[in-house]
Structure 1
Amino acid sequence: MGETPRLIATDIDGTLIRDDHTVSPRTADVLARISARGTPVILVTGRPVRWLKMVYDQLAEPLPAVCANGAVVYDPFNDEVLRADPLAPQHLAEVAQRLRAEVPGISFAVEILDSRQMRHEAHYPLRWDVDPDGIRAIETPEELLSLPAVKLLARAGEQDPDAFAELIATAVAGLAEATHSSSSGLVEISAAGVTKAAGLAWYCERIGVSAADVVAFGDMPNDVPMLTWAGRGVAVANAHRAVLAVADEVTTTNSEDGVAAYLEKIFGVG
């Protein structure tokens, strides 16, 4: 990579925003200044599209986003999904069958309609997402798997997040991708080949930017593909050990505005 990247890609939770889920004024200002200079800034997140507004409301302007761990590429200016790569119903059914056989008591939810809505089994625990307009419990397992889903979410009570993700990944190997971005035993499952790196690569090719010219920031295992794909992968200091192991550099923590601090140095802003 040259001295100044041509595109900035950043995870949101645990990376760009602080532990209180806010974007600091410093971070918002740095991103606005860099964008005004003509360098694209892209949010690359496990979040669904419907969770972006709370971040956009704290920025000078909305930013394009790769959502659902790479399955959805979203243009906020036109409220348009540019690309979606969901699990087909037949693949959802096979994944669910494998996991029900492997993990007693497992429960599922799905992100559907390009992650604008969520459906969940009655016993699936809703920990954050309780929007009554977009969330609904389903009546039967067949209903849960009847529509293409950009993400299948799996829980089985309290689990060690790394061990549970490894168990799920082994069970669905060759059929789907499994990763995690939380400490609560939630595993996120996408179509085969769908990762943050794949979604970001599609967007970069669309605007003519190569991987070598991208700087990417992250903190959790779902960020590993993106950080290894980008010309420069930067972990925040609070990152998971798997991210620290692959990062080219480490900045300060998310609560210390690590992304902003790093960008201020390489872009000369701040």
Structure 2
Amino acid sequence: MAPPIAYSLIATDLDGTLLRGDDTLSDRSRSALAAAVAAGARHLVVTGRPAPRVQPLLAELGGTGLAVCGQGAQLYDAGTHRMVWSVTLDRELADTALGKIEAEVGYVYAAVDQDGVDGLTLIEPGYEMPHPTLPAVRVPRRDDLWAEPISKVLLRHPYLSDDALAAAARQVVGSMATVTMSGPGTVELQPSGVTKATGLARAADLMGLEPSGTIAFGDMPNDIPMFAWAARGVAMANAHPELKATADEVTLSNEEDGIAVVLERLLEDGRRGPGAAASRA
């Protein structure tokens, strides 16, 4: 019989967390997740990537269940290739918010993730994808970004840091949208009130699971709401200082299989019995 594990739900971010810098999943991480699932846990991807950019990885993981995508704006079912739930960002509001940001910090480069299981990532002239392995379609004008419903807007500034751009955006956007920072060169606007935590909570409810049984892994400030919702939040060694400050634990980096290290320890504690973790503390 498979050994027990302390958490029934393992929520993992992708970029900078589960995936290595080359967008691959290590054999060790794959094995640790498989062992945790065999022990009775569920693995849930909770990512800023839109659903179309997650599908190949879910197939590689053998996942046929739910995935939280688009910073919590999308709940995707890999088994049926359909969106269980999604919320879009009003395009007129997004354009207005973008104008307010530019009035504060000068011209920014923008991109959008379209809604839907086959939605495209559109980028305007001058915008460079932070993850060059992810496909995108360049459009000739900013107005072309608003052609179809969108889940979020991605922003880059010619010289401001991500922290400075995110702070300025929050100040002028207010309640019009949620501003997140999800990776190097990735400041985003998403529907107001939508976070990874709201998406995770919706997925967990459908799975019949609770925050008290959830462990979450992440690396950027957009993971802070997820950490607040889960019973335990584990930041990677390469994580942003803001996330580390809220974490219950800091593990090794994504390049060093930090998630696997924690899961292997939890599985070993399960084999030893309820008092194992306390005796090692």
> Fold match, TM over 0.5?
yes
Q: Which amino acid aligns with 1:178?
A: V
Matches within 5 A, 1:250-265: 250-265=250-265
Cα distance between partner residues in 2 of 1:173 and 1:84: 22
Shift in CA distance, 42/164, structure 1 to aligned 2, threshold 3 Å: same
CA contact (8 A) 1:74 1:82 kept: yes
Cα distance between partner residues in 1 of 2:45 and 2:246: 20
What is the match of residue 278 of structure 2? Answer: none
How big is each residue's C-alpha offset from its partner over 1:72-130, in whole Å with a ceiling of 9 and x where there is no partner? 11111111111111112232232123123223121221111337212232232344357
Greater Cα offset, 100-109 or 55-64: 55-64
What is the match of residue 117 of structure 1? Answer: 120
TM-fit CA distance, 1:63: 5.6
Question: Structure 1: 5+ residue runs without aligned partners?
Answer: none
What is the match of residue 232 of structure 1? Answer: 232
Shift in CA distance, 127/257, structure 1 to aligned 2, threshold 3 Å: closer
How big is each residue's C-alpha offset from its partner over 1:154-205, in whole Å with a ceiling of 9 and x where there is no partner? 1221321111111111111111111112223x31110101111111011111
Matches within 5 A, 1:169-208: 169-184=170-185, 186-208=186-208
What is the match of residue 84 of structure 1? Answer: 86
Q: Which amino acid aligns with 1:164?
A: L
TM-fit CA distance, 1:223: 0.8
Q: Give identity over the alignment, percent.
A: 37
CA contact (8 A) 2:88 2:115 kept: no
CA contact (8 A) 1:99 1:168 kept: yes
What is the match of residue 143 of structure 1? Answer: 144
SS in 1 for 2:16: coil
TM-fit CA distance, 1:145: 2.7
Q: Does residue 241 of the first structure (1) align with residue 241 of the second (2)? A: yes
1:128 equivalent among 128, 131, 154: 131
Superposed CA RMSD: 2.4
CA contact (8 A) 1:165 1:180 kept: yes
TM-fit CA distance, 1:52: 1.8
Q: Which amino acid aligns with 1:154?
A: L
Bigger Rg, structure 1 or 2: 2
How big is each residue's C-alpha offset from its partner over 1:28-79, in whole Å with a ceiling of 9 and x where there is no partner? 1121222234321001111122222453354344563211111111111111
What is the match of residue 74 of structure 2? Answer: 72
Shift in CA distance, 127/220, structure 1 to aligned 2, threshold 3 Å: closer
SS in 2 for 1:243: helix
Q: Which amino acid aligns with 1:99?
A: I
Q: Which amino acid aligns with 1:258?
A: G
**Structure 2 length normalisation: TM-score?**
0.86
Cα distance between partner residues in 2 of 1:258 and 1:265: 11
TM-fit CA distance, 1:249: 1.3
**Higher helix proportion (structure 1 or 2):** 2
Matches within 5 A, 1:147-166: 147-166=148-167
Q: Does residue 56 of the first structure (1) align with residue 63 of the second (2)? A: no
**Structure 1 length normalisation: TM-score?**
0.89
CA contact (8 A) 1:212 1:231 kept: yes
Q: Which amino acid aligns with 2:72?
A: G
Alignment coverage as a number of residue pairs: 266
Q: Which amino acid aligns with 2:36?
A: I
Q: Which amino acid aligns with 2:160?
A: Q
CA contact (8 A) 2:53 2:134 kept: no
SS in 2 for 1:14: helix
What is the match of residue 29 of structure 1? Answer: 31
What is the match of residue 93 of structure 1? Answer: 95
Cα distance between partner residues in 2 of 1:145 and 1:213: 40
SS in 1 for 2:125: coil
